[in-house]
Amino acid sequence: MHQQLRPRTAPPAIEAEFFPSVGANHTAVLDGGRLHLRISDLFHDAPLEVLEALAAILLSRLYRRKLNPVYQQRYRQYTLSPEMLERSREARRNRGRRRHRNGPRGRVYDLDQLFRKINEEYFSNELPKPALSWTHRPTRSVLGSYEFDDDVIFVSRHLDSARVPLHVVRYILFHEMLHVKYGTRVEGGREIVHPPEFRREEKRFRHYVEANRWLDEH
For the chain, give every domain's residue range. 2-95, 111-217
User: Cα(22)–Cα(25) distance, rounded to whole angstroms?
Assistant: 8
Confidence of residue 190 (pLDDT cuts 50, 70, 90): low
| 66 secondary structure, DSSP code | P
User: Does residue 112 contact residue 173 with C-beta atoms inside 8 Å?
Assistant: no
User: Cα(169)–Cα(162) distance, rounded to whole angstroms?
Assistant: 11
Question: What sign does the CA torsion over 169, 114, 105, 103 have?
Answer: negative
With 80 as the cut, is the pLDDT of residue 114 above it?
yes
- Average pLDDT of every residue of the chain: 90
**18-29 per-position pLDDT tens digit:** 998 877 889 999
With 90 as the cut, is the pLDDT of residue 140 above it?
no
pTM given for the model: 0.66
Share of the chain above pLDDT 70, in %: 95
User: Cα(174)–Cα(180) distance, rounded to whole angstroms?
Assistant: 10
**27-81 per-position pLDDT tens digit:** 999 888 899 999 999 999 999 999 999 999 999 999 888 999 999 999 988 998 8
What is the reported pLDDT for 188?
63
What is the reported pLDDT for 15?
93
Name which residue leads in pLDDT, 59 or 97. 59
Residues 6+ apart with CB under 8 A from 147: 99, 153, 154
What is the reported pLDDT for 149?
74
What DSSP line would sit under 185-198, residue for residue?
EEETTEEESS-HHH
User: Does residue 149 contact residue 92 with C-beta atoms inside 8 Å?
Assistant: yes
What distances in angstroms separate CA 214 from CA 143, 169, 178, 217, one per listed residue? 13, 11, 21, 5
Determine how many CB atoms are found less than 10 A away from the CB of residue 80: 19
With 90 as the cut, is the pLDDT of residue 7 above it?
no
Q: Which CATH number fits domain 111-217: 3.30.2010.10, 3.30.70.940, 3.50.50.60, 3.30.1950.10?
A: 3.30.2010.10
